[in-house]
Structure 1
Amino acid sequence: MGILNATPDSFSDGGKHYALHHALEAAKNMERAGVFMLDIGGESTRPGAEPVDASTELDRVRPVIHVLKDAGILLSVDTMKPEVAAEALKAGAHLINDVTGLRNPEMVRVCADAGAAACIMHMQGEPRTMQQNPVYTDVVAEVHSYLRGQAARARADGVPSVLLDPGIGFGKTREHNLALLRAVRALAQGDAPVLIAASRKRLIDYLADVPDAADRDPGSLAIHLHAARQGAALVRAHAAGEHVQALRVQAALMAES
Structure 2
Amino acid sequence: MGILNATPDSFYEGSRTTTDRDVLQKASQMLEEGATILDIGGYSTRPDADTISIEEEINRVVPTIESIKKEFPKSVISIDTFRSEVARAAVEAGADLINDVSGGNLDKKMFETVATLKVPYILMHMRGTPQTMKTLTNYENIIADIMTYFQERIIKLKSLGVNDIILDLGFGFAKTIEQNYFLLKNLSVFENLDLPILVGISRKSMIYKRLDIPVSEALNGTTILNTIALQNGAKILRVHDVKEAMQTIKILSYLGKEKD
- Deviation of 1:15 (Å): 6.4
The equivalences for 1:1-257 within 5 A come to 1-13=1-13, 16-69=16-69, 70-103=72-105, 104-210=107-213, 212-255=214-257, 256-257=259-260
The question of whether the paired residues in 2 share the 8 Å contact of 1:54 and 1:81 is answered with yes
Q: Greater helix share, 1 or 2?
A: 2
Letter in 1 for 2:168: D
Letter in 2 for 1:58: I
Distance 1:72 1:26 in 2: 16
- Deviation of 1:99 (Å): 0.6
1:7-32 deviation digits (Å, cap 9, x = unpaired): 01111116641222112111111101
- Deviation of 1:105 (Å): 3.1
- Aligned residue pairs total 256
The question of whether the paired residues in 2 share the 8 Å contact of 1:122 and 1:166 is answered with yes
RMSD: 1.4
User: SS in structure 2 opposite 1:180?
Assistant: helix
1:201-254 deviation digits (Å, cap 9, x = unpaired): 1100232222x2121111111111111111111010001121112211121122
- Deviation of 1:197 (Å): 0.5
The question of whether the paired residues in 2 share the 8 Å contact of 1:122 and 1:147 is answered with yes
1:32-82 deviation digits (Å, cap 9, x = unpaired): 111110100001000001211111111111112112225322100100111
Give the TM-score taking structure 2 as reference length.
Answer: 0.94
User: SS in structure 1 opposite 2:98?
Assistant: strand
- Deviation of 1:109 (Å): 1.1
Distance 2:228 2:151 in 1: 22
Structure 2: segments with no counterpart, 5+ residues: none
Aligned residues with identical type, % of pairs: 35
1:155-202 deviation digits (Å, cap 9, x = unpaired): 111223111111100011112111111111111232211111011111
| Structure 1 runs (4+) greater than 3 angstroms displaced | none
Letter in 2 for 1:143: I
Distance 2:122 2:13 in 1: 23
Distance 1:105 1:207, change over 3 A: same
